[in-house]
Amino acid sequence: MKKIINTDKAPAAIGPYSQAIKVNNFLFISGQIPVNPKTGEVPVSIDKQTHQVMKNIEAILIEANLNWNNVVKTTIFLQNLNNFTIVNEIYASYFSDTYPARECIQVSALPKNVLIEISVIATEL
């Protein structure tokens, strides 16, 4: 069974996709960019953009009755891998003891010309 997960506490989809889809015990969260869902604004710095992305992901997790401990896989897209250290430190601060599997990829461009996008797979424990 497939269920669409949607919250106004994360940015609305800017294309033909859902914020997240829950299938059985898995939640697939679409790539989140650093758009503030209340204002529509994007912070300028990589640290503030990273925090905003993580807040957006957290809002979707909460809507699905999950949290960071349920995350098993993430994919980070960066416009510049020179930002990896900053992103890595902020990213790590959202997790407890167990980190999910992950890859980090440099890309040439992201929607709205943001610096970071993160997608997530989570599961009910």
Q: Which of the following is catalytic: 21, 42, 104, 110?
A: 104
Q: What is the mean pLDDT of residues 7-19?
A: 94
pLDDT on residue 115? 98
Q: How many CA atoms lie within 13 A of 39 on its CB side?
A: 6
DSSP SS3 for 20: strand
Whether 125 has a pLDDT exceeding 90, the answer reads no
Whether 1 has a pLDDT exceeding 90, the answer reads no
Whether 118 has a pLDDT exceeding 90, the answer reads yes
The conformational region for residue 116 under phi > 0 = left, psi -120 to 50 = alpha, else beta, is: beta
* Residues 59, 67: Cα–Cα separation, whole Å: 9
pLDDT on residue 6? 96
* Residues 34, 97: Cα–Cα separation, whole Å: 25
* Residues 82, 87: Cα–Cα separation, whole Å: 10
> Over the stretch 15-41, which tens digit does the pLDDT of each residue have?
999 999 999 999 999 999 999 999 999
Instruction: Evaluate whether 73 touches 106 at the Cβ level (below 8 Å).
Output: no
Tell me if residue 20 is catalytic.
Answer: no
> Over the stretch 80-97, which tens digit does the pLDDT of each residue have?
999 999 999 999 999 987
Q: What is the mean pLDDT of the chain?
A: 97
Q: What is the mean pLDDT of residues 30-58?
A: 98
Whether 100 has a pLDDT exceeding 90, the answer reads yes
SS3 content of the chain, % helix, strand, coil (to 5): 30, 30, 40
Whether 52 has a pLDDT exceeding 90, the answer reads yes
pLDDT on residue 19? 98
